[in-house]
Structure 1
Amino acid sequence: MRSVETNYSIRDEIRDYWSMRAASFDESVGHEIFSEAERRGWHRLLRKHLGAGQGRAALDLACGTAVISHLLDDLGFQVTGADWSEDMLARARRKAEARGADIRFVMRDAENTMEPRESYDVITNRHLVWTLVDPSAAFAEWFALLKPGGKLLIVDTNQDATCLGTRIRKAWEKLTGQPNGAGVVTDLAAAERHRRIREQVYFSAMMPAEAVVALLQKAGFVDPVVDRSMGDIHWAQARKMTLLQGFERLTQDRYAICVTKPTG
């Protein structure tokens, strides 16, 4: 039998996967913020690399339910939150309305935003880079969106780097037959979709910060800083997790990367 032609792409798969997870997204530690200690840690990290907001324009890519968007708003940035999932954006808008936050939300593909060139002072994203099909094209797009001297801050994880905490968790799961990892997808359909996505994205295996930096530099960014000093955030998150989850969080290779668009 001849296969049916379809225009459904991996990008559509990624969008639909996160739309499916939108309803429970904020229930996970590491997605939503569950303590003031963690909130202070995020504020510290953002100030360290981006400075004070002072009304400067910030684009939070793949904003999800707008956790980072609200942190930027706290610091005085004029924030646009962009996501490709309308379900995520609906929740983000409700949060902003409840808080009275003046955040603009738009439905955008992070690899082709259609936003005006050189219109943002800073761009942020958290746990987005691993989902990119073509990171070189995405980084070129983000470079074009920034004003000269603008900053890009990426927060992500070397996901398949098997740290001690992950090895212990997986051994426990094998012994007990019970998933115990933070953010582990237990729904079989969702887990299968996640597996298909991981097989097709650019960073389908490990994603060391150095590999991300190399692609950013090819896109024209300069002055890369890889910051793994995020213990205040991770300790606060670990305190809201099970013992195994918390230990894994504290031993994973999690990092922030800050790069700059040249002024010349």
Structure 2
Amino acid sequence: MTTQERINAYWTGRAPAYDEYQQRPDRFADDQRAWSQIWSQALPAAPLDVLDVGTGTGQVAMVLAGLGHRVTGTDLSEGMLAEARRHAAAVTDGPVIQLGDAVAPDFPAGSFDAVTSRYLMWTLREPQTAVANWIRLLRPGGLVAVVDSTWFPNGLDNASENFTGHYDSQVQAELPLATATSIDKTVAVLEEAGLADVTAVPLTSIYELDRRYGVAPNHEHQMQYLVTGRA
């Protein structure tokens, strides 16, 4: 298996449980409000053409579509795509969900006003190449906006997450941000790829929701960040 195939297999296996956690009824409404506010403040007013790379179960794509944007979500995990398609089909004007590689999205140059992702950067091979390709897809003044954290600063081998057989040493060697100890490394990737005005904003609203409701199994309570830059 290639590195990406191992990553895809891991997330396809995780997809049902991952989606169930994202849809927790006790927290869902609060999450929707918080993320809607985060993305509405991050992006210009709708409607924009937005590409959500590594869309997973489609949480960001669904929020953005709900804000009135025209959204395409892509992923390489068939299990994640199945969950995302199910959610998209349940709403009017939902996102278009399709198979696609976040590192090399197959769209014409200048197709989008914004490229977004959530919880992708840490598990992204060749992140600087990926961001450079996202920039190519943007119209003048377009925005890249990614959400992530420093999930595994002590290494994936010491993580409580069960990565056995998927995120092995070969895979880890190809993921430059997997064990980052500071969000500054993600900021640097966006800057080096050619984006301007790159900033990282702590998502205190999500931090407070995690404090109130608890974090996902095998995760620590830690700050997440919205990192943005302009083409």
- Counterpart in 2 of 1:191? 164
SS at match of 1:194: coil
Q: CA RMSD in A?
A: 2.4
Residue from 36, 39, 43 that aligns with 1:50: 43
Letter in 1 for 2:141: G
Please report how far the alpha carbon of residue 201 of structure 1 lies from its aligned counterpart in structure 2 after TM superposition. 1.4
1:245 deviates by: 7.8
Encode CA deviations 1:160-203: one digit per residue, 9 max, x unaligned: 346xxxxxxx9xxxxxxxxxx9xx535xxx43423443344122
Say whether residues 1:90 and 2:82 are aligned partners.
yes
Counterpart amino acid of 2:195?
F
Q: How far did residue 234 of structure 1 move?
A: 2.4
Q: Distance in 2 between matches of 1:232 and 1:210?
A: 20
The letter of the residue matching 2:85 is: R
Partner of 1:255: 225
Matched, 1:119 2:111: yes
3-state SS in 1 of match to 2:147:
strand
The 5 Å alignment of 1:97-246 reads 97-161=89-153, 184-186=160-162, 190-196=163-169, 197-228=171-202, 230-241=203-214
Paired residues of 2:61 and 2:72 also in contact (CA < 8 A): yes
What SS is found at the alignment partner of 1:90?
A: helix
> Could you tell me how far apart the structure 2 residues matched to 1:58 and 1:87 are?
22
Indicate which of 31, 44, 68 corresponds to 1:38: 31
User: Between the two proteins, what is the percent identity of the paired residues?
Assistant: 29
Greater relative CO, 1 or 2 (CA 8 Å, sep 6+): 1
Matching residue's letter, 1:52: A
Q: Give the TM-score normalised by the residue count of structure 2.
A: 0.87
1:77 paired to 2:50: no
Inter-partner Cα distance in structure 1 for 2:208 and 2:90:
28
Kindly provide the amino acid, as one letter, of the partner of residue 220 in structure 1. G
In structure 2, C-alpha distance between the alignment counterparts of 1:117 and 1:156, rounded to whole Å: 26
Larger Rg: 1
Amino acid across the alignment from 2:113: D
Residue 15 of structure 2 aligns to which amino acid in structure 1?
A
Give me the whole-angstrom Cα distance separating, in 2, the residues matched to 1:199 and 1:214: 19
C-alpha contact 1:157 1:207 (8 A) present in aligned 2: no
Q: Distance in 1 between matches of 2:181 and 2:168?
A: 16
Q: What's the TM-score, normalizing by structure 1? A: 0.77
Hey, what's the Cα distance between the residues in 2 that align with 1:160 and 1:112? Answer: 25
Gaps of 5+ in 2: none
Give CA deviations for 1:83-129 in whole Å, capped at 9, x if unaligned: 11122111111111122343211100100111111110011101111
Distance in 2, Cα, partners of 1:106 & 1:64: 11
Runs (5+) with no aligned partner, structure 1 = 1-7, 163-169, 171-180
